[in-house]
Amino acid sequence: MDTEKRVDYAQYLVVAVLAVVGAFLVWNAMTLPEGFAKVDPVGPAFFPMVIGIAALVLAVVLAIAIPRGSRGEADAGEDIDPDMPSDWKTVGLLVACFVGMILLVEPLGWVITSTLFFGGAATILGSKHYVRNVGIGLILALASFYAFYSGLGIPLPAGILDGIL
């Protein structure tokens, strides 16, 4: 029997997202002001430019491969049931956490918002150890704050903790 080829529009959605993200990164990298970071031998635009160009190249490669019949392999994980519906509630809560972090990072600061984000994401994904979630979130937030500030010379917003951190 001849099976009819079905167009998988989800793959084209991935192409579109890769292209938009890649173009956004390249455009932002080209418009970054010089001297953004205190210590940066390659400049602040290098990594966003590399990642943006890679995303654009991958979008083109995928756009060429899809009509030629290239399809992703089905997930062979034994703990995954491909017949189960998507868990849109979890996805929505994670997106809400991420949007909340974007909106609150300036007024509250990186440490507070990322602590809440890390702890909240762990809780949304099923961890019932709420205090430990927030504690690990705080450790990750402080480590990333000082890694960027001391290691890379890039100040993250301190928010209401300005002068304390």
Domain limits, the chain: 10-68, 88-161
108 touches 159 (CB < 8 A): yes
Cα(63)–Cα(141) distance, integer angstroms: 38
Question: Mean of the pLDDT values across residues 68-85?
Answer: 70
Q: Taking the model in full, what pTM does it have?
A: 0.59
Cα(100)–Cα(109) distance, integer angstroms: 12
Q: For 90-129, give the DSSP string.
A: HHHHHHHHHHHHHHHHHHH-HHHHHHHHHHHHHHHTT---
- The segment with the largest mean pLDDT, out of 7-11, 66-70, 91-95, is 91-95
| pLDDT, tens digit (0-9, with 9 covering 90-100), for 113-129 | 999 999 999 999 999 99
Q: pLDDT band at 1, cuts 50/70/90?
A: very low
The pLDDT of residue 52 is above 90: yes
| pLDDT, tens digit (0-9, with 9 covering 90-100), for 28-37 | 988 877 665 5
Is 7 in a helix, a strand, or coil? coil
